[in-house]
Structure 1
Amino acid sequence: MKMKTNMNKASRKRSRKEAKASSSTSTSGAADLSRSRSRSPSPSPSPSPVVPSPAPADDLQSSRHKRNRRKKSQRHREPSPSPSPSSPLRTRAAELHSANGGTADVPPSSEPVDAVKVVPSMDAVVKVFCTHTEPNFSLPWQRKRQYSSSSSGFIISGRRVLTNAHSVEHFTQVKLKKRGSDTKYLATVLAIGTECDIALLTVSDDEFWQDVSPVHFGSLPALQDAVTVVGYPIGGDTISVTSGVVSRIEILSYVHGSTELLGLQIDAAINSGNSGGPAFNDKGKCVGIAFQSLKHEDVENIGYVIPTPVITHFITDYEKSGQYTGFPILGVEWQKMENPDLRKAIGMKPDQKGVRVRRVEPTAPESGCLHPSDIILSFDGVDIANDGTVPFRHGERIGFSYLVSQKYTGQKAVVKVLRDSKVLEFSIKLATHKRLIPAHIKGRPPSYYIVAGFVFTAVSVPYLRSEYGKDYEYDAPVKLLDKHLHAMAQSEDEQLVVVSQVLVADINIGYEDIVNTQVISFNGKPVKNLKSLVQMVEECNEEFLKFDLEYQQIVVLETKSAKAATQDILTTHCIPSAMSDDLKT
């Protein structure tokens, strides 16, 4: 009886050990499965998360402790087989070496080591090193001190790399480094899309492209879909992973390009250095590019991603023409028609919906057919609602500018309008936006002209930002802001010309305080742009140079004295030329 009891105890003890070993073996797989299910609202039969989430430290220690106990019991029975090259039980160093394109002979290990999951898409994520030399808008004849930055990018098909436009803005040198590599490769910038904040790069060195698979794009994700942002943010040198879900899909303001395009809002942190990194879905497909975040005391972990429709538009645009041509717009300002009395007064039928045209850009192709007070009913066959939205996906609506942004520069679209109770259709050739105060200068140095110490230049958003800081929309002069927000260019080459500053000299006594003031006319002739001003001043044979400025200010200088003093002023301030190179031709 006693022997039987002891045998039962031994049997139960052995059963507990086997059950415990079995539980330890399945822990990792179950954890991975539950983690991948938590990332996706609709789990697939065989989930494949982009990046395995790290287990807590105590779980890892517990798992290792269980494996060590199991290995000790196995040693009494039979020796562990050496891992084969195809076995998942490889050393971490060998796996990382293989990920970088190398080959390694792995010596047999006496003890199996935890397998490390390496997602192929992560190997295509690169670190971007850029040296920038920005223009000096206050002293446009020179540039600012150079500085360096780092960001992220990723390899796509055709031996190309995508990153953000602001990551390589005003670049003088760009270098790329692959994951796990110690080599930086010189890169060539193929195209910069400032509006969509995307840049396309390539590398001429064949070694850079060895043993790396390009990233493949996925479709536009749905709300609550899991996303994983991969990149090289501040805080370390190695690759970083942050996970979240898609929380919003709408037309967003692209800060760098001062435009509005489709964008994704996610609840994953996007920090400095993450810019240009890919956002993967749970199938390892890229669904966007990280590009900006919302920083406010009332919010946290709100990041924004450029979605695949915008990315593919940029790439296709470049492939079609060999250069980036931009996103077209419908050159009108419009008003919602949600008020029933307004619709009735204009003559809209109960089943008619649309938006009212307030103004038409004089430089836009639409100016030839669209008029103020027209009601735009549809764009390319898609009906527009009274609030300016169109159907997007099931249960979702989006601004009708999305339809326009899906077109390419030069393509035609059919616009249906209501005018004087009649429905009319027009075929419009779409073009990019021409602003009186451009949102960017596309890498060109600023134009300038100097006469008698007066520094003339053309106003742009980068100029306003340089003069008044990031809050220029609050600190800049009211008249400049009004023109920035509401003025329309009357011709393709029209510019807003200002006296940026006055370099003090005897010739300009009494004018020293004139700063950032618009030039209206010269000797009674309107100033259309900076080049026309240069031509009029250089060819002037009258006794005086008379500049009419805003606020009814005038500047009068003797022509011969002013031109003679210019060279001395240039020498004093070490200025190489009285005008920028683009004004010399």
Structure 2
Amino acid sequence: MYYGDYHRDPQEPIETNQYRVHDPWDNGSAPAPAPRKKGSGARIVALALCCALAGGLVGGGSAWYLSRSLGSGESTTLYEGQHEPINVDTASVKSGDVLSAAQIYAANVDACVGITTELVTQNTFGFPVTGAAAGSGFVISADGYIVTNYHVIKGATAIKVAFVNGQSYDAKLVGGEAENDVAVLKIDAAGLTPVKLGDSDSLVVGESVYTIGNPLGELTWSLTDGLVSAKDRSVTTSEGETMNMIQTNTAINSGNSGGPLFNSYGEVVGITSAKLSSGSSSSSASIEGLGFAIPMNDVKDMIQDIIAHGYVTGKPNVGILMNDVSSAATQYGVPQGAYVEAVLSGSCAEKGGLKQGDIITAVDGTDITSGEELKAAVRQKKAGDTITLTVYRDGGKTDLSLTLDEDNQDRQDALSDLQDELSQQRQQQARQQQGGYYSNWPFGFGFGSNY
């Protein structure tokens, strides 16, 4: 190994300076190095100056150094940058100002909450199972109204929300919209800092967006950013609902559901709701950069309705439990359509003459082949509208006229009770019959949805 260092005899002129390479195994037999050419000293000085300038550029506008002496007389210099701490000014921000990501976070993190729930679900055998879930939400009023996704609190028996300052509150469900995946909670608090709602229709592809949420249910108040990748995407969620969505490459993971999507002005333009997954569970997702949010303009009026009435007014409801006709049934000549599993007592379905076992094949003369198509057709109507349903019954078809009921929480609770009652009946019937079959085969076991 060779070590090099620079020597100059103080009695010699500068131009006789020599760069000597010392070999620790040199016994003196090596020839003396040739004198260095005139002018090389200036180049070394220039090189040293360039290195010093480079070090200053790397270290920032100002720097200090630490010099440590080594045993051989060498030294090591470490450079550290110095600058004033970043000041995130939100006090002088005015509405309409474009904000930095740091300003958006500082101005809104107090309005963002982590949500945890206790819930009871049914396993594949119809038995209740206790579990827990986590999500995100955001404050929309100083007196404690909070928006989140419906699927975050679906089936919850207890709901808690936590703020960045460490405070937590028990929350109650004011109301929710399963089909539009939006819910409103209320906590007993005052003087909260709410978010500002923005115009989602004004978004353009390529615009920067941000979200604050609770990914994985553990990393609460995490900020992520991205772009609007597309608008007006038709997306079918894991709950089976087809919705209009904003597509974004902002990181959205399990636990982010229900959080706010901000534009560059710090306004909420969407509710982060879903991430495209290659598996049936969000935890098994391997597709990145494909997140979705509910446009705020699509649900703003619904949120106001829920706060005022506890439900979205004017929504139509038929009053049935339904399922799709199975492929096994169509082999016997049964038509495709929405199979009526049960009819709610006192509903417009009962008043209009629908019966358990009917298959709805058309709405106002337009053919349908599934329960989802029936829901999509009825969704275009309002409570109080009259529709004509074509039903297949006893080998023939007949038309029935129904005046649609208004959907509300009482109606949904009644349908849920009916579903529980029918589920218990089928479990008992399955246990009594050998092989687990029941009398309504081949239409399938279980329920598609209520409507």
- TM-score, normalised to structure 1, is 0.42
Distance of aligned partners of 1:320 and 1:186 in 2 relative to their CA distance in 1, 3 Å threshold: closer
Out of 309, 318, 333, the position equivalent to 1:321 is 309
Contact 1:230 1:239 survives alignment (8 Å): yes
Q: CA shift at 1:303, angstroms?
A: 1.1
Question: What does residue 347 of structure 1 align with?
Answer: none
1:185 aligns with 2:169: yes
Question: What does residue 158 of structure 2 align with?
Answer: 173
Distance of aligned partners of 1:267 and 1:413 in 2 relative to their CA distance in 1, 3 Å threshold: farther
C-alpha deviations, 1:281-320, integer Å up to 9, x for none? Answer: 1121111111111112884321111112332132133245
Contact 2:184 2:306 survives alignment (8 Å): no
Question: What does residue 81 of structure 2 align with?
Answer: none
Question: What does residue 147 of structure 2 align with?
Answer: 162
The 1-side partners of 2:293 and 2:413 are apart by 21
C-alpha deviations, 1:310-357, integer Å up to 9, x for none? Answer: 3213213324533345854999xxxxxxxxxxxxxxxxxxxxxxxxxx
Question: What does residue 423 of structure 2 align with?
Answer: 457
Spell out the pairing of 1:491-502 with structure 2 (5 A cutoff). 498-499=426-427, 502=430
Distance of aligned partners of 1:228 and 1:323 in 2 relative to their CA distance in 1, 3 Å threshold: same
The 2-side partners of 1:402 and 1:223 are apart by 28
- TM-score, normalised to structure 2, is 0.53
C-alpha deviations, 1:132-157, integer Å up to 9, x for none? Answer: 222456255xx313x22221100113
The 2-side partners of 1:133 and 1:318 are apart by 24
User: What's the secondary structure of 1:199's corresponding residue?
Assistant: strand
C-alpha deviations, 1:244-267, integer Å up to 9, x for none? Answer: 2232413332432x3333222222
Contact 2:174 2:306 survives alignment (8 Å): no
The 1-side partners of 2:205 and 2:417 are apart by 40
Question: What does residue 66 of structure 1 align with?
Answer: 60
The 2-side partners of 1:403 and 1:282 are apart by 37
The 2-side partners of 1:442 and 1:375 are apart by 26
The 2-side partners of 1:319 and 1:241 are apart by 29
The 1-side partners of 2:292 and 2:309 are apart by 29
Which structure shows the higher strand fraction?
Answer: 2
Q: CA shift at 1:444, angstroms?
A: 5.3
CA RMSD of aligned residues (A): 4.9
User: What's the secondary structure of 2:196's corresponding residue?
Assistant: coil
Spell out the pairing of 1:397-546 with structure 2 (5 A cutoff). 409-410=382-383, 447-448=420-421, 457=423, 498-499=426-427, 502-503=430-431, 511-515=433-437, 517-519=438-440
Question: What does residue 224 of structure 1 align with?
Answer: 206
Out of 229, 242, 247, the position equivalent to 1:246 is 229
Question: What does residue 308 of structure 1 align with?
Answer: 296
Question: What does residue 20 of structure 2 align with?
Answer: none
Question: What does residue 114 of structure 2 align with?
Answer: 127
1:293 aligns with 2:275: yes
The 2-side partners of 1:129 and 1:303 are apart by 22
- How many equivalent pairs are there? 299
Letter in structure 2 aligned against 1:190:
V
Contact 1:364 1:433 survives alignment (8 Å): no
The 1-side partners of 2:416 and 2:364 are apart by 38
Distance of aligned partners of 1:433 and 1:200 in 2 relative to their CA distance in 1, 3 Å threshold: closer
Structure 2 gap segments, 5+ residues each? 1-52, 65-83, 92-100, 279-284, 320-336, 341-347, 354-361, 368-372, 388-401, 443-451
Q: CA shift at 1:270, angstroms?
A: 1.4
C-alpha deviations, 1:197-228, integer Å up to 9, x for none? Answer: 1110011133xx44x23332323223333322
User: What's the secondary structure of 1:457's corresponding residue?
Assistant: helix
Contact 1:233 1:240 survives alignment (8 Å): no
Letter in structure 1 aligned against 2:296:
T
Q: CA shift at 1:192, angstroms?
A: 2.0
The 1-side partners of 2:255 and 2:406 are apart by 30
Contact 1:248 1:264 survives alignment (8 Å): yes
Contact 1:290 1:305 survives alignment (8 Å): yes
User: What's the secondary structure of 2:215's corresponding residue?
Assistant: coil
Overall identity of the aligned pairs, in %: 20
The 1-side partners of 2:209 and 2:352 are apart by 40
The 1-side partners of 2:352 and 2:301 are apart by 23
Q: Which one has a bigger Cα radius of gyration?
A: 2
Contact 1:151 1:232 survives alignment (8 Å): yes
Distance of aligned partners of 1:248 and 1:445 in 2 relative to their CA distance in 1, 3 Å threshold: same
Question: What does residue 267 of structure 1 align with?
Answer: 249
The 1-side partners of 2:236 and 2:261 are apart by 19
Letter in structure 2 aligned against 1:310:
D
The 1-side partners of 2:263 and 2:405 are apart by 34
Distance of aligned partners of 1:261 and 1:429 in 2 relative to their CA distance in 1, 3 Å threshold: farther
Question: What does residue 148 of structure 1 align with?
Answer: 132
The 2-side partners of 1:411 and 1:446 are apart by 25
The 2-side partners of 1:374 and 1:139 are apart by 37
Q: CA shift at 1:196, angstroms?
A: 1.2
Question: What does residue 14 of structure 2 align with?
Answer: none
The 1-side partners of 2:289 and 2:153 are apart by 25
The 1-side partners of 2:377 and 2:435 are apart by 48
Letter in structure 1 aligned against 2:297:
P
Contact 2:225 2:250 survives alignment (8 Å): yes
Q: CA shift at 1:91, angstroms?
A: 8.2
The 2-side partners of 1:281 and 1:404 are apart by 34
Contact 1:226 1:246 survives alignment (8 Å): no
Which structure shows the higher helix fraction?
Answer: 1
User: What's the secondary structure of 1:144's corresponding residue?
Assistant: strand
Distance of aligned partners of 1:319 and 1:127 in 2 relative to their CA distance in 1, 3 Å threshold: closer
Distance of aligned partners of 1:375 and 1:276 in 2 relative to their CA distance in 1, 3 Å threshold: closer
Distance of aligned partners of 1:218 and 1:366 in 2 relative to their CA distance in 1, 3 Å threshold: farther
C-alpha deviations, 1:548-578, integer Å up to 9, x for none? Answer: xx47xxxxxxxxxxxxxxxxxxxxxxxxxxx
The 2-side partners of 1:155 and 1:278 are apart by 10
1:276 aligns with 2:258: yes
Distance of aligned partners of 1:242 and 1:226 in 2 relative to their CA distance in 1, 3 Å threshold: closer
Distance of aligned partners of 1:95 and 1:433 in 2 relative to their CA distance in 1, 3 Å threshold: closer
The 2-side partners of 1:215 and 1:194 are apart by 24
The 1-side partners of 2:379 and 2:297 are apart by 10
Spell out the pairing of 1:50-89 with structure 2 (5 A cutoff). 65-69=59-63
Distance of aligned partners of 1:224 and 1:184 in 2 relative to their CA distance in 1, 3 Å threshold: same
1:214 aligns with 2:195: yes
The 1-side partners of 2:233 and 2:413 are apart by 24
Question: What does residue 569 of structure 1 align with?
Answer: none
Q: CA shift at 1:278, angstroms?
A: 0.8
Contact 1:127 1:232 survives alignment (8 Å): yes
C-alpha deviations, 1:12-56, integer Å up to 9, x for none? Answer: xxxxxxxx9xxxxxxxxxxxxxxxxxxxxxxxxxxxxxxxxxxxx
